[in-house]
C-alpha cells in the first residue's frame, strides 16, 4: 500500500522547525524594546540601509512571513495532483523546508543585530547564506520526484517524467556548483560579489530551463 502524505505526520517529524520559529519569535519579543523606532529593512550594494520600517516590522515581519510560508509548504502537497509522489522524496522535502526556514531566520537575526547597533555587512551574509541554500538545493533536486510545485517546473518537465528526471539531474549539478561559487564569492568586494551571485543564480536557472526544452524535443523525436 502506497504511503500517503499527511500534515499531521509532517508536524510530528518537523517539531524542530516549529521550535525554531518559536525561539525566533521569543528573541524578537525580548529585543523589541531595544530596537529603534525606525528599523533598517533593506540595504544597498554598499551595505548601507536604504529603506526603513516600524519597530514592529523590524521585529516580527520576517518571522510572520516565514511562519506563513512554512504552513503553505506544509499544506501544498495536499492540492498537488501528483501528491502521491511526495512520500517518495519526503526526507528531501523536509530538508528543503528546513533550509529555507534557516535561511530566512538567520537573515532576520542578523537584521536584529544590525538594528541593535552592531555594524555588520549584511550583503556578505546574504551571499553566504544564499550559496549554502543553493548548494542544498543542488543536492536535493535530483531526488525530487515528478510533481507540480517543488523543483524545476517548466512546461516540458511537467509534461514528461523523463524530462523531469533529466532536467533535475542537470539542475542539481548547476545549483550545487553555483552555490559553492557563491560561498567562495563571499570573499569578494561588495559589487563583484553581488554581480557574481546574480550571474550564477540567473545563469543556472536559465540553463536548466533551456535544457528541459531540448530534452523534451529529443524525447519527442525518438517517439515520432
**Domains: count for the chain:** 2
Round to whole Å and give the CA distance between 39 and 54. Answer: 6
pLDDT band at 157 (very low <50, low <70, confident <90, very high): very high
Residue 45 has pLDDT above 90, yes or no: no
25 and 103 together in one domain = yes
Which residue in the block uniquely carries the three cell numbers 517524467? 161
115 and 149 together in one domain = no
Boundary-marking domain end, from 103, 120, 137: 120
How many other C-beta atoms lie within 10 A of the C-beta of residue 162? 14
174 and 142 together in one domain = yes
Round to whole Å and give the CA distance between 57 and 35. Answer: 11
Boundary-marking domain end, from 101, 120, 139: 120
Boundary-marking domain end, from 104, 120, 136: 120
12 and 115 together in one domain = yes
Calculate the CA dihedral of residues 198, 114, 72, 167 and round it to 10 degrees.
20
Q: Provide the residue range defining the domain that includes 208.
A: 121-224
**Backbone φ and ψ of 145, nearest 5°:** -85, 165
Residue 223 has pLDDT above 80, yes or no: no
Residue 1 has pLDDT above 60, yes or no: no
pLDDT band at 222 (very low <50, low <70, confident <90, very high): low
Tell me: the pLDDT tens digits for 104-133?
A: 999 999 999 999 999 888 888 999 999 999
* Per-chain mean pLDDT for the chain: 93
pLDDT band at 2 (very low <50, low <70, confident <90, very high): low
76 and 20 together in one domain = yes
115 and 125 together in one domain = no
pLDDT band at 174 (very low <50, low <70, confident <90, very high): very high
The fraction of the chain above a pLDDT of 70, given in percent, is: 98
Stretch 167-188: mean pLDDT: 95
Tell me: the pLDDT tens digits for 129-153?
A: 999 999 999 999 999 999 999 999 9
103 and 132 together in one domain = no
Tell me: the pLDDT tens digits for 46-57?
A: 778 888 999 999
86 and 160 together in one domain = no
Stretch 208-221: mean pLDDT: 94
143 and 89 together in one domain = no
Q: Between 90-115 and 55-75, two packed helices, what is the crossing angle to 10 degrees?
A: 180
Tell me: the pLDDT tens digits for 19-41?
A: 999 999 999 999 999 999 999 98
pLDDT band at 190 (very low <50, low <70, confident <90, very high): confident
**Backbone φ and ψ of 188, nearest 5°:** -80, 160
3-state SS string for the chain? CCCCCCHHHHHHHCHHHHHHHHHHHHHHHHHHHHCCCEEEEEECCCCCEEEEEEHHHHHHHHHHHHHHHHHHHHHHHHHCCCHHHHHHHHHHHHHHHHHHHHHHHHHHHHHHHHHCCCCCCHHHHHHHHHHHHHHHHHHHHHHCCCCCCCCCCCHHHHHCHHHHHHHHHHHHHHHHHHHHHHHHHCCCCHHHHHHHHHHHHHHHHHHHHHHHHHHHHHHHHHHC
As a residue count, the chain comes to 224
116 and 139 together in one domain = no
108 and 136 together in one domain = no
Q: What local confidence, expressed as pLDDT, does residue 213 receive?
A: 97
Round to whole Å and give the CA distance between 147 and 125. Answer: 32
146 and 47 together in one domain = no
pLDDT band at 59 (very low <50, low <70, confident <90, very high): very high
Q: What local confidence, expressed as pLDDT, does residue 140 receive?
A: 96
Residue 198 has pLDDT above 60, yes or no: yes
Amino acid at each position: 500500500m502506497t504511503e500517503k502524505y499527511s500534515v499531521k505526520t509532517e508536524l510530528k517529524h518537523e517539531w524542530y522547525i516549529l521550535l525554531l520559529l518559536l525561539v525566533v519569535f521569543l528573541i524578537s519579543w525580548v529585543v523589541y524594546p531595544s530596537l529603534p523606532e525606525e528599523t533598517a529593512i533593506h540595504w544597498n550594494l554598499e551595505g548601507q540601509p536604504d529603506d526603513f520600517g516600524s519597530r514592529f516590522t523590524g521585529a516580527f515581519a520576517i518571522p510572520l512571513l516565514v511562519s506563513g510560508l512554512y504552513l503553505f509548504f506544509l499544506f501544498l502537497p495536499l492540492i498537488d495532483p501528483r501528491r502521491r509522489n511526495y512520500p517518495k522524496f519526503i526526507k528531501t522535502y523536509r530538508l528543503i523546508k528546513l533550509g529555507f526556514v534557516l535561511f530566512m531566520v538567520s537573515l532576520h537575526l542578523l537584521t536584529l543585530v544590525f538594528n541593535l547597533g552592531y555594524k555588520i555587512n549584511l550583503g556578505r551574509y546574504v551571499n553566504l547564506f544564499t550559496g549554502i541554500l543553493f548548494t542544498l538545493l543542488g543536492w536535493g533536486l535530483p531526488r525530487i520526484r515528478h510533481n507540480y510545485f517543488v523543483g524545476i517546473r517548466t512546461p516540458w518537465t511537467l509534461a514528461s517524467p523523463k524530462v523531469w528526471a533529466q532536467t533535475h539531474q542537470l539542475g542539481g549539478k548547476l545549483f550545487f556548483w553555483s552555490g559553492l561559487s557563491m560561498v567562495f564569492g563571499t570573499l569578494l568586494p561588495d559589487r563583484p560579489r553581488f554581480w557574481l551571485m546574480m550571474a550564477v543564480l540567473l545563469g543556472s536557472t536559465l540553463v536548466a530551463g533551456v535544457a528541459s526544452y531540448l530534452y523534451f524535443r529529443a524525447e519527442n523525436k525518438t517517439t515520432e
